[in-house]
Structures are given as C-alpha cells and as structure tokens.
Amino acid sequence: MESNHLLQMLLDNPGQYISGEELSRRLSISRTAVWKQINKLRQDGYEFEAVSRKGYRLIHSPERIHREDLLSRLQTTTFGRQILVQEVVKSTQDEVRTLAEQGATEGTLMIAEEQTVGRGRQGRKWHSPPGKGIWMSMLLRPRQPIAFAAQLTLLTAVAVCRALRKVSGVDVGIKWPNDLLIQGRKLCGFWLNRLVRTS
C-alpha cells in the first residue's frame, strides 16, 4: 500500500522534510495521490507538518499496542496470560465469543487498534477509531451461580477505578454501573456481554 511506503520513507528520515515531488517520484504516484495518502495516515493518528517548498515531515506517531510488552509487565496468573492483538476487527466481543466457542482459556484477552462495528451497552454503536483508545474484550468463565453474574460489572468498575488511581494518582470516579470518569468526562466503560457455558 502506498501509505505504508510513504510512512516508511518519512520514518527513515526523522525530523526531515521530504518534498511532495520527491514522494511522488519515489512512489510513482501523483502529487494529489501523495496528499490523499498523507490524509489517510492522519486519520490513523499520525501527525505531519506540511511546509510550502519544503514538503512533509512526520512530527508524531500514534502509540501501538505490543503483545510482548504487555506480557512482560503482567503479574497475573490467569487474566491476560493469552493476548491476541489485531489491527482491525469488527468487534472484540465477537472475536472473544468465537474464541470461547473454540475452547479458549479463561482470561484470554483480545485487543484491537480499531473496531469497525464496536458495540456498547444494549447494542449501541461504539465509535472505535485507530489510535484513539484501547478496545478490548476478555473471556471469563465464572463458576459462581448465574444470579451473581451482574455483580461482575460492579466489581470490575471498583477494581479498575482503584488501579487507575494507584498507578496515575488521578481522581478517577465511577458512574454506576459501568463507566469511569475524570472531571466529568468518560474515561472508559465495560460490561458483561454474555456468559458462555461449557460442558
């Protein structure tokens, strides 16, 4: 893809401008096509400075999620010991449901850089663009009676709130039952989508 080659050229020349003419020549595309590819990369979270007679230079790259880095930091025995990271999925919920039906172990975590059909509570559409958040779902196989399942959402809210306060020192609050807020703005949300029973 032209955008990947264009990005690699700019990454290979940190802090330097590359003219639109030079990018056009190297990629064998028009100057207009270069501009379109730059805009496509901007939508993915990359930031560029464009200066007349100089060209483009990359000034910011979005942070990417790296499985090995996450695993090296975990101290859990079950949750997150199996991590799958994808660039784009329709929904991490759907991916985890499929994994559950295939016998994946409890704690399996699916993370995506982007969801194209992300869903919130009650099936509401959840905007999940690349580079703008952490989109993930975890497989749980609770052994408690079904009547207690709803409490998992409340327990998760408390646990994540406490963890974020401890790690960041930020005054994180809970909007019951499933949202975390900072100064009245939503930081994250979580919910129990569906229990999968195995024999």
Instruction: Choose the CATH number for 63-141 among 3.90.1150.140, 3.20.20.60, 2.40.50.100, 3.30.930.10.
Output: 3.30.930.10
- What are the backbone dihedrals phi and psi of residue 114, each rounded to the nearest 5 degrees, phi first? -155, 140
Q: What is the CATH number of domain 2-60?
A: 1.10.10.10
| 143/9 Cα distance (integer angstroms) | 52
Q: What pLDDT is attached to residue 164?
A: 94
pLDDT tens figures, 16-69: 999 999 999 999 999 999 999 999 888 877 899 999 989 999 998 877 887 888
| Domain chopping of the chain, boundaries | 2-60, 63-141, 144-194
Q: What is the DSSP string of 80-137?
A: TSSEEEEEEES-HHHHHHHHHHTTPPTT-EEEEEEESS-B-GGG-B--B-TTS--EEE
Does 10 score more than 60 pLDDT?
A: yes
Fold identical between 2-60 and 63-141?
A: no
